[in-house]
């Protein structure tokens, strides 16, 4: 293992600037592909999956069941985080990233080939749930690996920016998924329901091949090589993280949970809210989400750049304050049923989310030393995902059914942001520009 790493990384013979560029491109592209696959499911869950996989239930129950399978993808993330975190801290970042990309690509294509309830009965929801679970495992290893391999190839002056690059993959993945979905939604008759929805899933295979070609040219990071050369590797990195860095895990989870809850509501549940509660056409929300995601790409890029000038922790706190201020106006604007105001609500929501999403990466990754960074980042990020985004659409569905008002969901978002601000006080990012 050490010999392989030394063969891959010869510090005196590396074009560091070139590897930094490859790392940045690889992280953005890989993250985009993974999130395209993951978000594609979320989009289809709001539009068509209740009819395809849970047709025997009333609309409310079918939506709950569909978003339950969505939540399962988040529940699986910590499992993927533990497994790939162990692999990433013991063998290397690159191996884990190649594995997660292959797994994500295969499961996404299989979802696109899956027969519906009308063809195979109860096996349809069972199989889609299993595949969703495997998707979650792959994401559990992808995010921390992408962040680390980009950040650890960065220099002292741009590590924060490099760490945020994979975050751009989230809106890019959402843009791709939403754009392709919008294209096929326009099919006439029942073409979209019978075969059109499958094409976006199957197209994922081409993106995966491209991502693999780029990642094969990426070397292991200097930080990981230094760990191999100078430090005895822990037998079980996961246990070492829990034992030696519990404060970093707990504070990191709750300081970042609001961003996932906000995204789960803004990016996914809003479409369901608009269709079922407001009685509006789904294309309004799909297109508004697409525009919001486009703007978020720029917003994340700018915020990532600023994170090297200002402490990422302060930027994250500012984002949570903005979230508190926008939670109520968001649903007020949606309730107007005005297309222009709906677009405004969603676009501003995406910009606010960007101010939390961009600094999240350096805040979490910089909380752990290099020899436990993959496992620590994976555990922290994935636990916040389970508590936050995984259940956000499900909880939002329940709150709307219970209180018949979107403002109940606003209260849910505000409470999460207040908890995040409190937890942020205990976050320590002393490894921000270290190694």
* 373-412 tens-digit pLDDT: 888 988 898 888 778 776 788 889 899 989 989 999 999 9
Q: Give pLDDT, residue 91.
A: 82
Of all residues in the chain, the percent with pLDDT exceeding 90 is 23
Q: Residue 365 in contact with residue 374, Cβ under 8 Å?
A: no
Confidence of residue 5 (pLDDT cuts 50, 70, 90): very low
**Residue 303 forms part of a structural domain:** yes
Q: What is the mean pLDDT of residues 51-61?
A: 72
Q: Give pLDDT, residue 74.
A: 75
Q: Give pLDDT, residue 149.
A: 85
**Residue 78 forms part of a structural domain:** yes
Tokens 């980009």 identify what position?
A: 150
CATH number for the domain harbouring residue 148: 1.20.1250.20
Question: According to the 3-state scheme, what is the secondary structure of 384-414?
Answer: HHHHCCCCHHHHHHHHHHHHCCCHHHHHHHH
**Residue 393 forms part of a structural domain:** yes
**Residue 434 forms part of a structural domain:** no
Q: Give pLDDT, residue 10.
A: 45
Q: Give pLDDT, residue 299.
A: 93
Q: How far apart are CA 320 and CA 80, in angstroms?
A: 28
- In this predicted model, which residue has the larger pLDDT, 134 or 268? 134
Q: What is the mean pLDDT of residues 333-354?
A: 96
**How many domains does the chain divide into?**
1
Q: Is the model's pLDDT at 115 over the cut of 70?
A: yes
Q: What is the mean pLDDT of residues 276-280?
A: 89
Q: Residue 362 in contact with residue 429, Cβ under 8 Å?
A: yes
**Residue 429 forms part of a structural domain:** no
Q: What residue numbers bound the domain in which 225 lies?
A: 2-424
b/e burial code for range 30-69 (CB count within 10 A of at least 16 → b): bbbbbbbbbbbbbbbbbbbbbebbbeeeeeeebbbbbbbb
Q: Is the model's pLDDT at 159 over the cut of 50?
A: yes
Beta-carbon contacts of 91 under 8 Å, excluding residues fewer than 6 positions away, are 1
Confidence of residue 1 (pLDDT cuts 50, 70, 90): very low
Q: Residue 358 in contact with residue 167, Cβ under 8 Å?
A: yes
Of all residues in the chain, the percent with pLDDT exceeding 70 is 91
Q: Give pLDDT, residue 51.
A: 77
Most confident of 11-20, 229-238, 328-337: 328-337
Q: How far apart are CA 394 and CA 64, in angstroms?
A: 6
In this structure, what token pair is assigned to residue 84? Answer: 């790939």
**Residue 206 forms part of a structural domain:** yes
Confidence of residue 306 (pLDDT cuts 50, 70, 90): confident
In this structure, what token pair is assigned to residue 335? Answer: 């309730």
In this structure, what token pair is assigned to residue 222? Answer: 């200097």
Q: What is the mean pLDDT of residues 193-207?
A: 86
Q: Give pLDDT, residue 3.
A: 42
Q: Give pLDDT, residue 70.
A: 66
Most confident of 47-51, 181-185, 314-318, 373-377: 314-318
- In this predicted model, which residue has the larger pLDDT, 16 or 358? 358
Q: Give pLDDT, residue 347.
A: 96
Q: How far is CA 285 from the centre of its chain?
A: 20
Going by C-alpha positions, the residue among 4, 204, 21 that lies closest to residue 95 is 4
- In this predicted model, which residue has the larger pLDDT, 27 or 321? 321
Q: What is the mean pLDDT of residues 292-317?
A: 88
Q: Is the model's pLDDT at 344 over the cut of 90?
A: yes
Confidence of residue 41 (pLDDT cuts 50, 70, 90): confident
| Sign of the dihedral defined by the CA atoms of residues 213, 159, 248, 435, in that order | positive
Q: Is the model's pLDDT at 154 over the cut of 90?
A: no
- Conformational region of residue 68, where left means phi above 0, alpha means psi within -120 to 50, and beta covers everything else: alpha
Question: What tens digit of pLDDT does each residue of 76-112 get?
Answer: 888 888 888 888 888 878 888 889 888 988 988 998 8
Q: Is the model's pLDDT at 327 over the cut of 90?
A: yes
In this structure, what token pair is assigned to residue 18? Answer: 């070139």
The chain-wide mean pLDDT, for the chain, equals 84
Q: Is the model's pLDDT at 162 over the cut of 80?
A: yes
**Residue 435 forms part of a structural domain:** no
In this structure, what token pair is assigned to residue 155? Answer: 């220099």
291, 415, 32, 347 alpha-carbon torsion, rounded to 10° = 10
Confidence of residue 350 (pLDDT cuts 50, 70, 90): very high
**Residue 433 forms part of a structural domain:** no
Going by C-alpha positions, the residue among 266, 258, 242 that lies closest to residue 78 is 242
Q: What is the mean pLDDT of residues 320-346?
A: 96
Confidence of residue 372 (pLDDT cuts 50, 70, 90): confident
Going by C-alpha positions, the residue among 273, 159, 274 that lies closest to residue 222 is 159
pTM: predicted TM-score of the whole model, two decimal places: 0.78
Confidence of residue 334 (pLDDT cuts 50, 70, 90): very high
Going by C-alpha positions, the residue among 170, 373, 390, 351 that lies closest to residue 261 is 390
Most confident of 128-137, 205-214, 368-377, 406-415: 406-415
Q: How far apart are CA 414 and CA 134, in angstroms?
A: 32
Q: What is the mean pLDDT of residues 225-242?
A: 79
């Amino acid at each position: 293992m050490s010999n392989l790493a030394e063969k891959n990384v010869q510090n005196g013979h590396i074009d560091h600037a070139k590897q930094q560029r490859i790392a940045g491109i690889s992280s953005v592209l890989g993250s985009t592909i993974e999130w395209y696959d993951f978000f594609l499911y979320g989009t289809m869950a709001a539009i068509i999956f209740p009819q395809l996989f849970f047709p025997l239930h009333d609309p409310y129950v079918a939506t709950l069941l569909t978003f339950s399978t969505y939540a399962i993808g988040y529940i699986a993330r910590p499992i993927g985080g533990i497994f790939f975190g162990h692999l990433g801290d013991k063998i290397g970042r690159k191996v884990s990233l190649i594995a997660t990309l292959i797994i994500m690509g295969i499961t996404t294509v299989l979802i696109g080939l899956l027969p519906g309830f009308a063809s195979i009965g109860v096996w349809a929801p069972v199989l889609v749930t299993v595949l969703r679970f495997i998707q979650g495992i792959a994401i559990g290893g992808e995010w921390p690996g992408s962040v680390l391999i980009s950040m650890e190839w960065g220099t002292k002056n741009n590590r924060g920016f490099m760490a945020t690059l994979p975050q751009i993959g989230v809106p890019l993945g959402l843009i791709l998924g939403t754009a392709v979905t919008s294209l096929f939604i326009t099919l006439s008759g029942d073409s979209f329901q019978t075969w059109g929805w499958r094409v976006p899933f199957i197209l994922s295979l081409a993106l995966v091949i491209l991502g693999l070609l780029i990642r094969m040219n990426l070397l292991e990071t200097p930080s990981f090589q230094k760990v191999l050369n100078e430090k005895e590797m822990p037998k079980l990195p996961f246990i070492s993280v829990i034992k030696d860095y519990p404060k970093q895990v707990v504070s990191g989870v709750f300081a970042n949970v609001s961003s996932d809850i906000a995204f789960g509501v803004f990016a996914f549940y809003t479409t369901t809210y608009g269709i079922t509660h407001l009685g509006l056409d789904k294309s309004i929300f799909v297109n508004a989400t697409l525009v919001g995601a486009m703007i978020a790409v720029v917003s994340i890029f700018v915020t990532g750049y600023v994170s090297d000038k200002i402490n990422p922790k302060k930027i994250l706190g500012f984002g949570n304050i903005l979230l508190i201020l926008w939670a109520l106006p968001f649903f007020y604007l949606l309730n107007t049923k005005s297309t222009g105001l709906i677009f405004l609500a969603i676009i501003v929501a995406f910009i606010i989310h960007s101010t939390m999403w961009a600094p999240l990466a350096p805040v979490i990754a910089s909380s752990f030393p290099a020899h436990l960074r993959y496992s620590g980042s994976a555990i922290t990020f994935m636990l916040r995902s389970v508590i936050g985004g995984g259940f956000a659409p499900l909880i939002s569905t329940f709150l709307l059914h219970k209180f018949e008002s979107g403002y109940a969901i606003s209260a849910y978002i505000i409470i999460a942001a207040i908890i995040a601000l409190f937890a942020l006080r205990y976050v320590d990012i002393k490894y921000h520009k270290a190694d």
